[in-house]
Structure 1
Amino acid sequence: MHPDIESNYEQAKKLYKKHGIDVDQALNKLEDIKISMHCWQGDDVKGFLFRDQALTGGISVTGNYPGAARTPEELRSDLEKALSLIPGKHKVNLHAIYADTTEKVDLNELEPKHFQKWVEWAKEQGLGLDFNPTCFSHDNSKDGFTLSHPDPEIRQFWIDHCIASRKIGAYFGEELGQTCVTNIWVPDGYKDIPVDQLAPRKRLKESLDEIFTVEINPKHNLDALESKLFGLGSEAYVVGSHEFYMGYGLLNNKLICLDAGHFHPTESIAGKLSSLSLFSEEILLHVSRPIRWDSDHVVIMDDELMAIGREIVRNDLVDRVHIGLDFFDASINRVAAWVIGTRNTIKALLRGFLEPTELLKQAELEGDYTTRLALMEEFKSYPFGAVWDYYCAKLGVPVREEWLEEVKGYEKEVLLLR
């Protein structure tokens, strides 16, 4: 470790200690947090089951930066490179279309064996795996409906797929010794205003009821449900709204997924965490960045991300919130996108740990809002960067922008040759 990094860290520790913050303890807590890094940034959400299928479900990936992964081996190589530049041990989040198999198999026929190579790789890398049924980019989703489809045969196809996905998630959890979170998101909705908003939601509820009749050990797999405000092709009405899934999740003991890009563009989800934590034991969080009508830009350390990190730490939700990433950008180096987004998410949590939370809460309780505001503002310029540099160096990953040189080298030696 460079002497300046250690020296700067020791100076920063002294400053934080004046306000009762144990920086060493904060870093130990941070190291225990696992971020679930999404595989679909690496190949623009194409997967391997239906490579020629057009991307549907209101999902759009723009850009044509060279080097997208074309095979499971290439994708795993890219993930390894990204993870080697991110401090800590984390998880990888898979969609069903990323099955690694030579067998011709449809979504409703998937089994754990079709993901055996992913599990073997995760064991080698010391990683956990999360999972998602892929309810888009398929002939049975071409009209924009899946679990709420009026055709019972099509609806059953998606029910069977979700049941299969939960069993695959349980396989991940049992084999890897890390609980898998299997998250269900469906694109169902109307482009224009529907007459009957109730019937599709009744069908969705009935489908979910059938999916969850199959009992899965929660030690191995946890179920989550993800809402969305609107999407391309479902601008007027989304069947799986926030209110629908919050009600269903709370009544049926399922995790509710809060995706930062699935609410109104000016709506913060940070404040929702404390409210939901009173009624739900655990929460799934998808960290994304909405810009106007697009919900999935690479995560930057903006006000919303820092607010999310603070809320998780301030409310002691670190062990109750499962944090995953969800964005896709084909206009930049895809490995760099992972590194930028994941490192920023970890930084936001670190900044939460480096706040004098108890001191601020006490000032607030006493009505001393002057002290609360003054300290919150002053801590914005405290030497957080010195602590982050030390954390990266301690865990053997590049400090500051040094990681970019490695990504550029990987691009030249690997990505541009594809």
Structure 2
Amino acid sequence: MEAKLTASYQAAKELYAIHGIDTDKVLDRLAQVKVSMHCWQGDDVRGFLNRDQELTGGIAVTGNYPGAARTADELRQDLEKAFSLIPGKHKVNLHAIYADTDERVELDQLEPKHFANWVKWAKEHGLGLDFNPTCFSHEKSADGFTLSHPDPQIRQFWIDHCKASRKIGAYFGQELGQTCVTNVWVPDGFKDIPVDRLGPRRRLKESLDEIFAERLDPASHLDAVESKVFGIGSESYVVGSHEFYMGYGLQNNKLICLDAGHFHPTETISGKLSSLALFAEGILLHISRPVRWDSDHVVIMDDELLDIACELVRHDLLAKTHIGLDFFDASINRIAAWVIGMRNTLKALLRAMLEPTELLRQAELAKDYTTRLALLEEFKSYPYGAVWDYYCARQGVPVREAWLDEVKAYEQEVLSVREV
């Protein structure tokens, strides 16, 4: 098999070289890309602080596939299995509710010590960590408002939680030597048409100003803000709209998060990247797959994923873009969901890197649109699969669908014996 992989790769390498594409350099470049894999796929966004709390904030996880992680140790075990099947070294994205502690602690009282086990584990495996305050699934968010809440005491609780989260994120970055992105998303909004649209947004702005008042070292920590067009229970009005956060992020030098499922069902984020890159401090991407709404399906190799990858590569945006995944599917094996989403994201980036970008750009500048279209179409059938297979083998992970056998075996040996 190894000889066949190498022979296929050499043939592909020669073919790409005709157009000046060095596949060896491309694979070295791909190996530098870190994707932040979201922990909440592993346990259906339940976390460990308030596991009995009803999932709220417009978030819905469907399915009851056996084997969801019940403890931090089990979740880390599952993450390790997933990473063993994914090429490259990456990051893990944690929510605050995934604190690993025996102490009974409220969200606004969280400290770095409550995540020390996560840092120890990340160091052992050469992983980075990203972070998110959890502004949902809590009694103080039951009416659908957090940082824009009209009650100053409730609002202060969430402000303090976000402040604590930033300190935890900074701790991650300092300990691991990899910049941690702490992303603020809140579900605040109205089910029906509000009279006052400005008041909640003014309160949200004031809350964010207080949260971000303390300057943290950007080498170890970056802030991001994330919008949404609507959600369950906030169908008519979302306080943190795209316009709100784009304005806030640009004015305050924060990363602006674009989630693939947080826009109109017919709206894509790929076309936004080139505009945002001209003005934003940086970009955070949440790669997801919306089906009719923000349904957070597992990422597949669809046109939008390829378009996102091409925009990042063609415009050299990988250096200022932080890529993470965000989906939760409990209808299939959760580890398989991680592996499928991560491998597809990396594979899309590889395909973009194997494109003759400069040749296409020159054809476009010369108004030779015939050549542009012809090459774009022909390269769709170029042997990127042979390059991907070789990369997986070189990185020591299963080639093609061989990873599925390992997931199935892990399901039988580990997941199937877990009690609900």
TM range (shorter): over 0.9
| 2:391 partner SS | helix
CA distance, structure 2, for counterparts of residue 65 and residue 407 of structure 1: 14
Is it true that 1:244 corresponds to 2:251 in the alignment? Answer: no
> What is the TM-score of this pair, normalised by structure 2?
0.99
Are the counterparts in 2 of residues 96 and 165 from structure 1 also a CA contact under 8 Å?
yes
Tell me what 1:189 maps to. 189
1-structure distance, mates of 2:84, 2:58: 32
Secondary structure of the structure 2 residue equivalent to 1:69:
coil
Match of 1:285 in 2: 285
d(CA) in 2 for partners of 1:40, 1:141: 19
Match of 1:341 in 2: 341
Report what 2:104 is aligned to: 104
Measure, in 2, the Cα distance between the counterparts of 1:8 and 1:151: 64
**Aligned mates of 2:149, 2:214 — CA distance in 1:** 21
- Aligned residue-pair number: 418
Partners of 1:32 and 1:167 lie apart in 2 by 27
Indicate if the aligned counterparts of 2:129 and 2:172 stay in contact, CA closer than 8 A. yes
Matching residue of 1:155: 155
* Alignment match, 1:330: 330
Distance 1:293 1:303 in 2: 17
Aligned to 2:32: 32
Partner of 1:297: 297
Instruction: Quote how far apart the aligned CAs of 1:294 are.
Output: 3.4
Confirm or deny that 1:320 pairs with 2:335.
no
Q: In structure 1, what residue type is equivalent to 2:195? A: V
Shift of 1:15: 0.7
Question: Partners in 1 of 2:60 and 2:269 — Cα distance?
Answer: 23
Q: Give 3-state SS (helix, strand or coil) of 1:225's partner.
A: strand
Task: Tell me the equivalent position of 1:255.
Answer: 255
Distance in 2 of aligned mates of 1:22 and 1:45: 42
Percentage identity across aligned positions?
77
Instruction: Report the AA paired with residue 327 of structure 1.
Output: F
Structure 1 gap ranges (5+): none
> Using the alignment, how far apart are the partners of 1:281 and 1:192 within structure 2?
34
**In the alignment, is the contact (CA less than 8 A) between 1:144 and 1:187 conserved in 2?**
yes
- Counterpart-to-counterpart distance in 2, 1:36 and 1:294: 19
Asked whether the 8 Å contact 2:250–2:281 carries over to 1, the reply is no
Whether contact under 8 Å (1:9, 1:387) holds in the other structure is yes
SS of residue in 2 equivalent to 1:100: coil
Shift of 1:280: 1.3
Q: Residues 326-370 of structure 1: CA distance to partner in whole angstroms, max 9, x if unpaired?
A: 000000000000000000000010010000000000000000000
Cα distance between partner residues in 2 of 1:10 and 1:366 = 33
- Matched with 2:60 is 60
Q: AA paired with 1:14?
A: E
- Unaligned stretches of 5+ residues in structure 2: none
1:10 aligns with 2:14: no
Q: How far is 1:295 from its partner?
A: 3.1
CA contact 1:262–1:295 (8 Å) conserved in 2: no
3-state SS, counterpart of residue 85 of structure 1: coil
8 Å CA contact 1:182–1:224 kept in 2: the answer is yes
**Tell me, what secondary structure is at the counterpart of 1:131?**
strand
User: Is 1:298–1:329's contact at 8 Å kept on the other side of the alignment?
Assistant: yes
Q: CA deviation at 1:228?
A: 0.4
Question: Partners in 2 of 1:57 and 1:378 — Cα distance?
Answer: 45
1:159-174 correspondence runs (5 A): 159-174=159-174
- What secondary structure, in the 3-state scheme, does the structure 2 residue paired with 1:52 have? coil
Q: Aligned partners of 1:27, 1:111: CA distance in 2, in Å? A: 39
Q: Contact (CA 8 Å) 2:99, 2:115: kept in 1 or not?
A: yes
CA distance in 2, matches of 1:220, 1:4: 43
Q: Do residues 122 (structure 1) and 122 (structure 2) align?
A: yes
CA deviation vs aligned residue, 1:39-74 (integer Å, no higher than 9, x gap): 000000000000100000000000000000000000
Q: CA deviation at 1:282?
A: 1.4
Task: Measure, in 1, the Cα distance between the counterparts of 2:368 and 2:82.
Answer: 45
Structure 1: 4+ residue segments shifted above 3 A: none
Q: Distance in 2 between matches of 1:215 and 1:260?
A: 29
Matched, 1:220 2:212: no
Contact 1:128–1:180 (8 Å) recurs in 2: yes
Cα drift, residue 318 of structure 1: 1.2
Q: Distance in 2 between matches of 1:330 and 1:353?
A: 33
C-alpha separation between the residues in 2 aligned to 1:160 and 1:210?
Answer: 9
SS in 2 for 1:213: coil
Q: Which amino acid aligns with 1:150?
A: P
SS in 1 for 2:119: helix
Q: Which amino acid aligns with 1:56?
A: T
Displacement of 1:265 in angstroms is: 1.5
Q: Secondary structure at the match of 1:36?
A: strand
Separation in structure 1 between the aligned mates of residue 184 and residue 104 of structure 2, nearest angstrom: 24
TM-score, scaled to structure 1: 0.99
Task: Report the CA distance between 1:214 and its aligned residue.
Answer: 1.5
Q: Which region of structure 1 is more displaced relative to structure 2, 215-224 or 115-124?
A: 215-224
* Farther-moved stretch of structure 1 (403-412 vs 215-224): 215-224
Counterpart contact for 1:16–1:22, Cα < 8 Å: yes
Q: Is the 8 A contact 1:169 1:181 kept in 2?
A: yes
SS of alignment partner, residue 319 of structure 2? coil
Deviation at 1:219, TM superposition (A): 1.0
Alignment of 1:76-115 (within 5 A): 76-115=76-115
Does residue 273 in structure 1 map to residue 273 in structure 2?
yes
d(CA) in 2 for partners of 1:222 and 1:318?
A: 16
Equivalent residue of 2:408, what SS? helix
Bigger Cα displacement from structure 2, 286-295 vs 343-352: 286-295
Partner of 1:244, secondary structure, is helix
Measured in 1, the distance between the counterparts of 2:176 and 2:358 equals: 37
Deviation of 1:220 (Å): 1.1
Residues 189 and 234, structure 1, Cα contact 8 Å, conserved in 2: yes
Are the counterparts in 1 of residues 46 and 55 from structure 2 also a CA contact under 8 Å? yes
Using the alignment, how far apart are the partners of 2:282 and 2:185 within structure 1?
A: 18
